[in-house]
Every structure is written in C-alpha cells, then in structure tokens.
Amino acid sequence: MARIESAMLALGTSAPDFVLTDVVTGHQVSTQAVSGPKGTLVMFICRHCPFVKHLERALAQLGRDYETSGVGVVAISSNDAANYPDDAPRSLAEQATELGFIFPYLYDETQEVARAYDAACTPDFFRLRRLTTAQVTNSSRDRDFFEIVLAYGLIIAVIWTPNPLQRLLYWTAFATILVITLLRREDLNTLGLGRRGFASSLWIVALALAVAAFTVWAAFRGHTLHSLSGQAPLFGHVWGYFIWAVMQQFLLQSYFLARCLRLTPNRWLAVLSVALLFAIAHIPNPVLTIATFIWGFCCCLLFLRYRNVYTIGIAHGILGICVAITVPDRFHHHMRVGLGYLHYHQHLSARPHS
C-alpha cells in the first residue's frame, strides 16, 4: 500500500463544520455536538486500512482516556464503500461495537468533510484548539446542575417521607427522571443500555459470584447466614431486587455520573461525588452507607471502562442479596434506608442457619 503523508491545516484555520450520520446509532451528529470545552480531536479512519487495524484498539482506549478530559473525540470514515466494502456503514458499525468505541463514528459519504479538512490518508488526526460554537456554555452547565439537584432532591424526599405520600413521590421521581432522560435524546450505548461492553464486562458478574459464594460460606461457618426477611415469595423477592439493582445503576451511571462528568473535567472528582451521593442516600443504615460508597466508587470506574449498566447491575444484585443474607438484620434492618430503617422491626422468620 502506498504511504501518503498527512497534510496539515494552517494554524488558526477555523474548524470546518459538518453534520454526518453516526454509523452505530443512525443519528445525525454535528460539529457542535462532538466539541469539547478544551478542544476536539477529529480522526479520519476506516476499517480496511492496515495502518488503522494496527492502531484501532489503541484508538478505542484513547477515546476512554479522553472521555473526561474536556476534549471531544470523533472518528470519521470518508472511504468509498463501493471500492472498499469493509468501509460501508454497516461494517463500520460492527468495528465500533467490537472495539468498544465510545466516541461517535461518522460516515462521510460524499467525502466533502475529508476535503474540507484536507485529510489525505487513514489514520489522519486533527487536533483543534477549540470550536467556538461548541463551547460548553453556562446554560448547559446550569441545566446539568439543575437536573442533578431536582432528581436527587426527589430521591431523598422519597426516602424520608412516610406512606401514602411516599408512593406518590416515588412515581413523581420516576416520571421526572424518565422525562429528563428522554429529552436528552441520548442513544442506548451512551446510556449504557446497549450491547457495547456487555461481553467484555461479564467477568464482573463472575467475580461478584465468587465473592458472594465465599461470603456465604464464611457466614455459614460463622452462624450468621439467614433467610431473606419479608413475606414475598423468594423468587419474586430476588427477581425484584435484581431489577431494582439495575435501576440503581442506571441512576448512578447514566444519570448522575454523566452530568457530573460534564460539570467537572476532573474524572476522579466526578466519580467521588457520585459515590458520595450514593452513600448519603443510604443514611442512616451504617452497613449500606459504607458499602455503597465503596461499591459506588468502584462501579463508576467500571462503567467508564465498559459503559454497560447490565453487568454492573447484575453484580450489584448478587452482592446486595449476599449482604442481605449474611449480615444479621439487626445491623442493616433488612437493607432499609431513611425512615424505613428507623421504623424497622425485625421479623422472627429470619432465623440464622446453623
């Protein structure tokens, strides 16, 4: 294959605008949508090129590394699909899914964008200092902050309000968060609800099973293993908790972490803030307040790596059930928080197994 040297835009050149289709989501993506407050990295790549094949895993990692840096990242393929079938949109979507690209992967069918950037080969990189029209505005930051305060305030209200008002507040909070999420019009992969990262993160579930098995064995030996409290059938109880665990991870990752990352370019500060919010929501339960801070911190980092709510939610469910049956109810009051913890009365039906 002939080697072609990259051309270079003259310093100070305004970034060419574009509106292209994302091969994974099918959505139209503009220059403004991919720009970051600290600049933008535009990568012209494809699937068939051996030079790209050599770097593609590193490019996927680069996207993850830059996710919270304040620098926007976007990949564009401008190759002719008729001459290079591997560079057709469907094939590019497979490439993005297999490699776990978390940045938009756009198809430049007319090659007009490639010409505007003077892209000469693949891979070809353009680091743009800033895109004026895409700077993070105060209004967008205000919107993120408002959405965090509104949703978290409703959640805390649900936790600390007695029935029957609690039930009304629960559905109010549910509807509010759902509407806010839908108004953002983010695709499933961005929300962590797609297939991306699922297979590669299954080890998290396996590790949770191993930890739970060891903990149950230790609780059996220590005579603290007991059945789940409550009158619901065991299957329904466990199944319901797993659904709730996935919902918690959606709130934690797709809602709160996403907004905290936009509010601060410091990834560690964003993760720490979300873990702290998660722990505060479990006060006054001493076991869950500590456990959720540690678990919240870890699962935020896992989400940033794999961007999949399902595996983290399943692991959450496994570990939660494990805590419920191995730690005596007198310490965690059957995993309750807020008023539920304070008003809990231990049931005699939850007897230790000897």
What is the CATH classification number for the domain harbouring 47? Answer: 3.40.30.10
User: Which of 134, 163, 196 is the last residue in one of the domains?
Assistant: 134
Model pTM score: 0.67
Q: Which pLDDT belongs to residue 45?
A: 93
CA distance 245 to 78: 42
Q: Is residue 349 part of a domain?
A: no
Q: Same domain for 201 and 86?
A: no
Distance CA 71, CA 130 (A): 9
Phi, psi (degrees; rounded to nearest 5) at 151: -65, -45
115 and 248 belong to one structural domain:
no
Give domain status of residue 166, yes or no: yes
- Residue where a domain terminates, one of 87, 113, 134: 134
- Predicted local confidence at residue 92, as pLDDT: 92
Do 105 and 175 have their domain in common?
A: no
- 322 in the same domain as 256: yes
Confidence at residue 9, expressed as pLDDT on a 0 to 100 scale: 60
Q: Are 65 and 197 found together in one domain?
A: no
Last residue of a domain, one of 88, 114, 134: 134
Which range of residues forms the domain containing residue 31? 19-134
Same domain, 31 and 172: no
The answer on 225 and 88 residing in a single domain is: no
Q: List the one residue out of 261, 204, 237 whose CA is nearest residue 334.
A: 237
- Same domain (yes/no): 190, 331: yes
Beta strands of 45-196 (E only): which ranges?
A: 72-77, 105-107, 124-128
Same structural domain for residues 108 and 146? no
What is the model's pLDDT at position 10?
57
> What are the mean pLDDT values of the chain's consecutive 10-residue runs (354 residues total)?
55 70 82 81 91 91 84 90 88 89 90 85 80 49 91 97 94 96 83 86 97 96 87 81 96 93 79 96 96 96 89 97 93 91 66 44
- Compute the half-sphere exposure of residue 221: CA atoms within 13 Å on the CB side of its CA: 6
Non-local (6+) Cβ contacts of 72 within 8 A are 34, 35, 36, 39, 40, 41, 131, 134
Pair (127, 254) in one structural domain: no
Task: Give the count of domains, the chain.
Answer: 2
CA dist., res. 281 & res. 291, Å (int)? 12
Please check whether residue 70 lies inside any domain of the structure.
Answer: yes
Tell me if 3 is assigned to some domain. Answer: no
* Domain shared by 290 and 189, yes or no: yes
**Which of 205, 209, 208, 192 shows the shortest CA–CA distance to 252?**
192
Contact status, residue 28 vs residue 21, Cβ threshold 8 Å: yes
Residues near 240 by beta carbon (within 8 Å), at least 6 away in sequence: 232
Q: Beta 124-128 vs 40-44: how paired, if at all?
A: antiparallel
Q: Indicate whether 287 belongs to any domain.
A: yes
pLDDT of residue 142: 85
Any domain includes 7: no
Q: Is residue 13 situated within a structural domain?
A: no
325-328 long-range contacts, CB within 8 A, separation 24+: 325/216, 325/219, 325/225, 325/226, 325/227, 325/228, 326/215, 326/216, 326/218, 326/219, 326/224, 326/225, 327/219, 327/224, 327/287, 328/224, 328/226, 328/352
Q: Report the distance separating Cα 60 and Cα 196, nearest Å.
A: 12
Determine, yes or no, domain membership for 10.
no
218 and 308 share a domain? yes
Strand partners, 73: 41
